[in-house]
Amino acid sequence: MIPPRALVVWCPDWPVTAIGLDAAAPAAVVSGALVEACSAAARASGVRRGQRVRDAQRHCPELVVRERDTDAEGRLFESVAAAVSGVTPWVEVVRPGVCAIPVRGAARYHGGGADDEESLRVHVQDTVVEQGFDCGAGIADGLFAADLAARAGEGGVVVPPGETPAFLAPYPVSVLGRPELTDLLGRLGIRTLGAFAALPVRDVTARFGVDEIRAHRLARGLYPRPPAPRPPLADLSVSTEFDPPAVAAEQVIFAAKSLAERLHEALAAEALTCVRIGVEVTGADGRTLTRLWRHDGALSALAVAERVRWQLASWEPQGEDGQEGGVALLRLLPDQLVADDGRQEALWGEATVSDQIARAAARVQAMLGHQAITRPFPAGGRGPGERLVQVPFGDLPPEPAAEGPWPGRVPDPPPAAVHPEPLPATVTDADGAPVMVDARCAVSAPPHEVEIAGRRHVVTAWAGPWPARERWWDPARARRRARFQVVTGDDRAHLLVFEGGHWHVEAGYT
Amino acid sequence: MLPVLHEVVPEGGLRPGSVTVVEGSPTLALALTAGLGERWCAVVGLPEAHIPAAASMGGDPMRVLLVDDPGRRWADVVAALTDGCALVLTRPPDRPAPQVVRRLTALARRNGCALVVTGPWEGANLRLRVEEGHWSGLGTGTGHLRGRRALVVSSGRGAAGPGRRVWLWLPAPDGTVAPAAETPETPVRAPVAVAG
């Protein structure tokens, strides 16, 4: 995929500018004993990045040396970003000294067509220079190439669409900013991006890791990261304060619902949606509990409120004396913002839920709570009740079930009714003695009669046992069960289970 | 609806707004939910209903909504789900009042939803029950349940008229629903394999 065209504004030697040193005077910004950045005049005297300060001073005795101030770099660059946002509001600050804007929207805003990229480039450059900052501006396919284009020529160039790989080819591999890879490729005789890009993708993926594969994509002009611009100053988080602190969980949950609605509206106004939502609960005692909740797209206010409820449940037991309890502040933070294309893709490869179904389910959730309406998903297990998990509507389904084998699973067809609570039963043999199953799964006598809910039925056919010895490695949760199928005189079929000396009816086949 | 059930459900199937009462056979009730194709069904108030059984008869478990415990909001839940689902399978917590019956029937008709009820209901269009059943596959300590030949009897108003009696495999040995002979000449016997 060819990345969308981006314009990058690059202010040279930004750490030096931020400290207020003139580019004409030889100056260097250091951190520790190494030079981090230097002015053009210092560079002309032989000062380089990464040099030891003492070596730099040997090259340039009149060098002014200052400690690096990253706060000032960020603060001062805000004025550059603000100037650029006069052209388009979609400014992404890559790092202090470098910011990017998408070309498409900006060119339209600027009034020109796609062929007017040069005039846009000059316009942006002039805008920044008018603020008193030296800068270069470049346009290319993708941020990486645009960054290099901003440094090329006199104050930047425009790389025509599709020519990015050719533009990148002569650059040394070191511009990828991966010293180890540069070293390795150098020893392989690969010194330029063009040579690196010429390596077959298959071989690169076979030999290298994820990071190197990304570097390879960069070198081919394919880096798929579009500028992820956000309008400046748009803090989309919403919060509410409780004064006095809310003691009842219901009060917090109710507030969470209306907060979620506000968040929903704010996101919709920006045509954004979020993949995860962060819930931050601050107690009256100053404790803060933050959780990220993932959501598969249906960001309903009720679902958010329900997650706040779960979070509060994990919160309350910690208030030992119960005196300083209560929630003082609740904040919802949208996380991983993505453009809202109207519908999120279903994560498990099927998008069957229509709006109408979602609406009906939401109405039921409004009446009975988030967990009251569920969808069944297959799960692994031996008993019929274990072959299914019910997931609240709108939540992510569990990981796909393990595909067996499940030795001891009762063969199909599956029963039509699985009792939520197994019904107690008594099974007796022809002499009226209880039928037992021993540790070796031997049945004491053929079952003759079954008593279920006070009614006695003659057994006409039976089979079993299907033994299920589960979690034998965990004494606390280990279970040994034996299952039987029986048909009774009234033509009904049951699934019985024997465990710990007692019989239960687990399911019915009627 | 499953084509094989047309024998017992007259007029080409479950019509929107129609109420079908199924007595005593969860399998038959689930069979009615199985033939919906791309449309959804909801199961309200039957926590024991086992969806894999419907799936083996041809239903799509990904298009099922389950409300195990509607409690006192039963009527409201069913009313909400008729808008969107093609079929709602439900058991009322107790005999519903006539005005509730009228309201739900009217909503179901308007929204194009059929109701299948396993429980008390006044004025159902169709009543289905299994009058007789014969399980096969199970011996004395051998085999496993394979299928059941069931005599399904329908009765109802109008065209359903005097009632129909149809023998079906419910379920068939492969888990589906299939037509069955009235009396098998050679009863299906269990295979020799011993369970366990």
For range A37-51, the mean pLDDT = 86
Among the listed ranges A43-57, A367-381, A435-449, B45-59, which one has the minimum average pLDDT value? Answer: A367-381
What whole-number distance in Å separates Cα of residue A232 and Cα of residue A251? 34
Structure confidence at residue A202 as a pLDDT band (50, 70, 90):
confident
- 8 Å CB contact between B147 and B188: yes
Residues 448-477 of A with CB under 8 A from B: 461-467
- 8 Å CB contact between A368 and B71: yes
Same fold yes or no, A1-233 and A245-336: no
Structure confidence at residue A256 as a pLDDT band (50, 70, 90):
confident
pLDDT for the residue numbered B104: 92
Fold adopted by A1-233: Alpha-Beta Plaits (3.30.70)
Q: How many CB pairs under 8 A join A and B?
A: 165
Indicate if B109 and B146 belong to the same structural domain: no
User: What proportion of chain B, given as a percentage, has pLDDT over 90?
Assistant: 29
Residues 336-355 of A with CB under 8 A from B: 350, 352, 354
Residues 393-432 of A with CB under 8 A from B: 393, 408, 410-420
Structure confidence at residue B77 as a pLDDT band (50, 70, 90):
very high
Indicate if B56 and B149 belong to the same structural domain: no
For range A218-225, the mean pLDDT = 69
Task: Judge whether B142 lies within some domain.
Answer: yes
- 8 Å CB contact between B100 and B53: no
pLDDT for the residue numbered B160: 52
Could A416 and B27 be called an inter-chain contact, meaning their C-beta atoms sit closer than 8 Å?
yes
* Average pLDDT value over all residues in chain B: 84
Could A487 and B135 be called an inter-chain contact, meaning their C-beta atoms sit closer than 8 Å?
yes
Task: Judge whether B131 lies within some domain.
Answer: yes
pLDDT for the residue numbered A233: 40
The residue of chain A with its CA nearest to that of B190 is A463
Task: Judge whether B73 lies within some domain.
Answer: yes
pLDDT for the residue numbered A154: 82
- 8 Å CB contact between B154 and B164: yes
For residue range B145-160, list pLDDT tens digits in order. Answer: 888 988 888 887 765 5
CATH of the domain at B97: 3.40.50.300
Q: Which residues of A touch B77 (CB under 8 A)?
A: 364, 367-368
Q: What are the strands, taking DSSP E only, across B11-163? A: 19-23, 41-44, 64-67, 87-90, 114-117, 126-138, 143-156
Q: Which residues of B touch A360 (CB under 8 A)?
A: 42, 65, 80-81, 83-85
Residues 6+ apart with CB under 8 A from A315: A281, A283, A289
Distance from CA of B27 to the nearest CA of A (A): 5
Task: Judge whether B184 lies within some domain.
Answer: no
- The string of DSSP codes covering A371-402 is GGEEEEEE---SSGGGGEEEEETTSPPPSPPP
State in words which class domain A245-336 has.
Answer: alpha beta
Indicate if B20 and B70 belong to the same structural domain: yes
Does residue A83 surpass a pLDDT of 70? yes
Task: Judge whether B19 lies within some domain.
Answer: yes
What whole-number distance in Å separates Cα of residue B23 and Cα of residue A493? 16
For range A434-447, the mean pLDDT = 86
Domain boundaries, chain A: 1-233, 245-336, 345-406, 417-508
Give the residue numbers spanning the domain of B141. Answer: 127-179
CA dihedral A261, A262, A263, A268 (to 10 degrees): 90
For range A219-248, the mean pLDDT = 67
For range B135-146, the mean pLDDT = 87
Among the listed ranges A170-179, A212-221, B17-26, B153-162, which one has the minimum average pLDDT value? Answer: B153-162
Does residue B196 surpass a pLDDT of 80? no
Total count of domains within chain B: 2
Indicate if B92 and B139 belong to the same structural domain: no
Distance from CA of A377 to the nearest CA of B (A): 7
**ipTM attached to this prediction:** 0.87
Task: Judge whether B187 lies within some domain.
Answer: no
Could A368 and B77 be called an inter-chain contact, meaning their C-beta atoms sit closer than 8 Å?
yes
* Average pLDDT value over all residues in chain A: 79
Indicate if B91 and B175 belong to the same structural domain: no
For range A221-249, the mean pLDDT = 67
- 8 Å CB contact between A485 and A493: yes
Pick the residue with more confidence: A481 or A494? A494
Indicate if B22 and B84 belong to the same structural domain: yes
Edge-to-edge strands, sheet with A272-283:
A238-246, A327-339, A272-283, A288-294
Task: Judge whether B46 lies within some domain.
Answer: yes
Indicate if B137 and B113 belong to the same structural domain: no
Among the listed ranges A116-120, A354-358, A460-464, B77-81, which one has the minimum average pLDDT value? Answer: A354-358
Indicate if B101 and B23 belong to the same structural domain: yes
Indicate if B138 and B90 belong to the same structural domain: no
Query: Does residue B150 sit in helix, strand or coil?
Result: strand
Indicate if B97 and B46 belong to the same structural domain: yes
Indicate if B42 and B131 belong to the same structural domain: no
For range A91-112, the mean pLDDT = 72
For range A70-91, the mean pLDDT = 76
**Cα-trace Rg, chain A:** 34
pLDDT for the residue numbered A12: 87
